[in-house]
Chains A and B, each alone.
Chain A
């Protein structure tokens, strides 16, 4: 039942009950009035009866003196009493007109009264009483009294009855009233209660509505995602949230004056209209779409829309999620994947093969085709063990490799593989397991390189270095035995020649002595040659220990040594200060010994010999030099200076083995440097050298 019906029913019922009660009350009021009248009437009858009885008694009393003393006249008072009695009787008659029973009694009374009065009249006319009269009078009186009593009791009964009836009706009325009022009160209470309930309910609803509205506003406005509502008919934007205003750059007012087509790039509008015409679900996801910001910047959005009624219009609420970054990332990923795929498939130097977890070929690149000879369609789906030599397959090597890769995360191997044509190649293979995010094995990547040539080259290098090592060893052994065995006989030759000269001086003529002297000279020269050759060999095979060297100091020491061997000579030494270099001090000392030694030697014929050690910039680097003003040489022979046993001067003029500069060159080269010489005959020579890799 609706609240309204409830209200009508409640109040209506209460009203009806009250009306009914009113009607009943009115009726009762009328009834009670008549009842009262009847009660009054009865009381009037009773009064008249009492008065009539009193009058009849009075009559008797008034008559009594007359009766006792029947002289005189009939008392006047008795006469008046009789007529009063008659008038009472007449009144009674009138009063009891409504009651036939009382009328009958009254008639009887009237008869008796009349009889009494006639008796009185009779008495009056008679003189003196008679016994008969007396008796009649007494009888009549008794009869009258009894009729009176009869009537009186009848009236009293009537009065009781009427009073009783009135009381009963009043009680009934009371009950009805009480019940009616109670019922209507209850109804009213119920109705009022339901009104209160309804008011409360409405208040609640109103509050909820208000809250919902607030929440909606809050959700709408503080939603971090742009949201708007548009009229599906006119496409006008009806509401827009703060985020949309913030993100799109249009003011709220601008939005509300726009249609949704206004925030799209012009070229997308037809597609949008087509989309809007197509049937829509109440909740629909669509996109990606492009939206245009006020600045003209385009963004990619994903749209979710809800059908709703907004301010009485059919509308859609649109939630636009900016997916520009996401789309960019996805595009980039796509691009990078495509790039990656292109790279892999186009790599020619490496066979990049993807295997499934069991080892069947899934993908095959150009490198694989080039190296192994199979085209992709020939090999995809086949097991990768076809690339292995039968003996390896028999040993279960392919499966072991996958197992190893699976367990270790990587497997690498260098071994033989078979091409499609059956030929073998030496392969470097790296197998890596491919696992998804859950760690599940999805397959393997196998990268194979044909390193046959590399292996050949490596083997050659190994062979070469073994040979070189052997050669070095041999050279070492050779030098060692040269050092020991070649010199010993020389000492014998020299010693015994000298012994001859000494012990047989008398027997030898001057020619013999000269020959012996020549033997000694030759022997010594041989000794020097051997020593120089050994030095050269030593320089060749010595290891280089690079360290920071004070070259100026080293040159000074070397010069001093040489000077001390020939204290008589006076040479102007000019050694530049502070020259430093990285190198092997022992070898560089040997080089300087040779260079300064040469300068010393070739200036031996100069009166004012000058030797200079210094440095100068050459080709961006620093070249050290040893310069003298000695014999010099012809520049055209400069290149021959550094060959072993190459001499530009007669041994008689300047002694020497011709190995010194060869040794210098070897030392400089071993330092990564170069050495060259400039000279002019009789004017001096300059030998330059650089030391490679400075400060490394």
Chain B
């Protein structure tokens, strides 16, 4: 379970800390790669920009994706992930503050695997993260990582 990377795409530093704390409190010790905006996330996923040297055989087991992001927003990231051969099968969980209908419709429309609203109450948030970890990192079998040509 340790070798499975979590990609957390989150621009809010508080939420980042809280998410990490929630993961820790749930004893989820996987490597967490943090992208603070959409373009960082894309760099990581496609080995571009600052991540040009990255080993692309390693792909996140799960992407926790916020929607409201600077530069490139969550929907765009999702769209790019789903459009690329190498990443199109990656599990993406939208983890966001709102539960607006329009966001859910658009998110699922672009191929999100789950849509989770971050509760205001921290203990509920911890519980949500616990369930997410349990499901996506342990229970769920991720698709095989495709070989690079």
Contacts and interface: CB of A to CB of B under 8 A. Distances in A.
Interface of A: 479-480, 483-485, 487-492, 494-499, 520, 523-524, 526-527
B18 A492 contact: yes
B108 interface: no
B21 A487 contact: no
B18 to A, nearest CB: 4
Interface stretch (B43-51, B114-122, B133-141): B114-122
Contacts of A480: 98, 100, 102
The 8 closest A-B pairs by CB, nearest first: A527-B120, A492-B14, A495-B122, A483-B98, A495-B18, A498-B122, A484-B98, A490-B120
Contact of A491 (B15, B67, B100, B102): B15
Contacts of B99: 483
Interface residues of B, number: 21
Given A498-B123, A524-B120, A524-B121, A491 B18 contact: yes
B13 to A, nearest CB: 9
Contact of A488 (B12, B21, B100, B102): B12
B113 interface: no
Interface of B: 12, 14-15, 17-18, 21, 67-68, 96-100, 102, 118-123, 125
Contacts of B102: 480
Contact of A484 (B17, B97, B122, B125): B97
A494 B121 contact: yes
B20 to A, nearest CB: 11
Given A491-B125, A524-B120, A527-B120, A496 B14 contact: yes
6 contacts: A483-B100, A487-B97, A491-B18, A494-B121, A524-B121, A527-B121
Nearest to B18: A495
B68 A487 contact: no
Nearest to A490: B120
A492 B96 CA distance: 14
Contacts of A523: 120-121
A483 B67 CA distance: 12
Nearest to B14: A492
A489 B13 CA distance: 11
Q: By DSSP majority rule, is chain A's interface helix, strand, loop, or mixed?
A: helix
Contacts of B122: 491, 494-495, 497-499
Contact of A499 (B21, B97, B118): B21
B121 A484 contact: no
A484 B103 CA distance: 11
B97 A488 contact: yes
A474 to B, nearest CB: 16
Contacts of A488: 12, 14-15, 97, 118
Contacts of A489: 14
B67 to A, nearest CB: 8
Given A484-B68, A488-B14, A494 B100 contact: no
Given A489-B14, A527-B121, 7 more contacts: A483-B97, A483-B100, A487-B118, A492-B14, A498-B122, A498-B123, A526-B120
A455 to B, nearest CB: 37
Contacts of B21: 495, 499
B138 to A, nearest CB: 25
B121 A492 contact: no
A68 B107 CA distance: 212
Which of B96, B122, B125 neighbours the largest number of chain A CB atoms within 10 Å of its CB?
Answer: B122
B79 to A, nearest CB: 19
B105 to A, nearest CB: 13
Contacts of B14: 488-489, 491-492, 495-496
B32 to A, nearest CB: 17
A40 B37 CA distance: 190
Contacts of B97: 483-485, 487-488, 491
A523 B125 CA distance: 14
B98 A491 contact: no
B25 to A, nearest CB: 9
Nearest to A527: B120
A480 B104 CA distance: 13
Nearest to B96: A484
Contacts of A494: 120-122
A491 B66 CA distance: 15
Nearest to A531: B120
B7 to A, nearest CB: 20
B38 to A, nearest CB: 15
A481 to B, nearest CB: 9
B123 to A, nearest CB: 7
A12 B102 CA distance: 138
B17 to A, nearest CB: 8
A594 to B, nearest CB: 18
A491 B123 contact: no
A523 B17 CA distance: 18
Contacts of A524: 120-121
A489 B97 CA distance: 10
A260 B42 CA distance: 117
Contact of B120 (A485, A491, A499): A491
A529 to B, nearest CB: 11
Contacts of B98: 480, 483-484, 487
B68 A495 contact: no
A485 B123 CA distance: 20
A433 B111 CA distance: 63
Contacts of B119: 491
Contacts of B96: 484
B125 A495 contact: yes
A479 B100 CA distance: 9
B102 to A, nearest CB: 8
B12 to A, nearest CB: 6
Contacts of A527: 120-121
A479 B97 CA distance: 13
Contacts of B68: 484-485
A484 B94 CA distance: 13
A33 B94 CA distance: 176
Contacts of B120: 487, 490-491, 494, 523-524, 526-527
Nearest to A530: B120
A619 B119 CA distance: 45
A480 B68 CA distance: 11
Which of A479, A480, A526 neighbours the largest number of chain B CB atoms within 10 Å of its CB?
Answer: A480
A490 B119 CA distance: 10
A275 to B, nearest CB: 94
Which of A484, A495, A498 neighbours the largest number of chain B CB atoms within 10 Å of its CB?
Answer: A495
A498 B121 CA distance: 9
